[in-house]
Amino acid sequence: MPKTKTTTRIDYGRRVARVMAYIADHLDDDLSLETLAEVACFSPCHFHRIYRGIAGETASDTIRRLRLHRAANELARSERPIERIARRAGYGSVEAFTRAFGADHGLPPAAYRARLTPFHVPLNGDDSMNPVTIKTFPGAHVAALDHRGDYQAIGRRFDELAAWAAGRGLLETPRRWFGIYYDDPASVPVAELRSEATIEVDPDTPLGDGMVRREIPPLRVASILHKGPYAELERAYRQLYGEWLPASGEEPSDRPCFEHYINDARTVPPSELLTEVFLPLKG
């Protein structure tokens, strides 16, 4: 019996999610069209169009986006030579890498590294500080995928969520995306960090494999809006905890911090990404 349209779409979403997970795990390997089509069990003739229809970007776009994201983290958090980072990102020369990285992140690699190594928290009165506001978060029902390890690698779980949601037609209406972060990366070993990638869903939405239902309740929060690459989000946290909180008279509640991803990393360059960071407060 032929599959129904809904069943086919769900199956395609599952297979594209499998490819996204494979890409994230094999960024240094051969990621040819034929290899990825085989992972998805699609004909190479049709794989490209199916992937783009589900993922909202081509497979080449996904590979480029993830490699440049990893490069940004290596620039900010390591002393690896830029030439080596460029090769790992798939570029044959530092010049080509510099052009691609600068177009996405708004700065060439060397300048990006100089600005973020070490992370700098602006002093009081510095115009570069983002304002912190206290507000009420209205709450959200979400589907969540668990992630263990480096917070900067959680993007693969969001890609899997996106493929699952697209396969079920959930992206035909606007959805909020949140990341929930349970541990302090400065005090917990990287391999033990706990986080969840989530997408807003209706409370009765059937969930996919490995997903759990979460409710983020209405909360009083401190909010800071970060504009720029996800690799720079640590600056917002250092401002919240190192500058704002000690001078605010506020106390954090026992709920974890979470982030709202306002725009889409697949459609805007990293330099234009908007992320609202929420610190739950008592009271």
Cis peptide before 252 (omega within 30 of 0): no
Distance CA 219, CA 282 (A): 9
**What is the per-residue pLDDT across 158-178, written as a single tens digit (0 to 9) for each?**
999 999 999 999 998 999 999
Distance of alpha carbon 161 from alpha carbon 55, whole angstroms: 10
Q: How much is the mean pLDDT over the chain?
A: 91
Sign of CA dihedral 48, 53, 55, 61: positive
For residues 56 and 204, give the distance between their C-alpha atoms in angstroms, rounded to a whole number: 25
Query: Under a CB-based contact definition with an 8 Å cutoff, are residues 179 and 154 in contact?
Result: yes
**Paired tokens of 132:** 């912190």
pLDDT computed for residue 170 by the predictor: 93
Phi-psi map region of 272: left, alpha, beta (phi>0 left; psi -120 to 50 alpha): alpha
Instruction: Report the predicted TM-score, pTM, of the whole model to 2 decimal places.
Output: 0.82
Q: What is the DSSP letter of 230?
A: G
Residue pair 144/211 in contact (Cβ under 8 Å)? The answer is yes
Given a contact cutoff of 8 angstroms between Cβ atoms, the answer to whether 224 and 240 are in contact is yes
Each residue's pLDDT tens digit, 90-125: 999 999 999 999 999 999 999 999 887 554 444 344
Which domains, ranges and CATH numbers included, belong to the chain?
A: 5-61 (1.10.10.60), 72-116 (1.10.10.60), 132-280 (3.20.80.10)
Give me the residue label for tokens 């996904």.
62
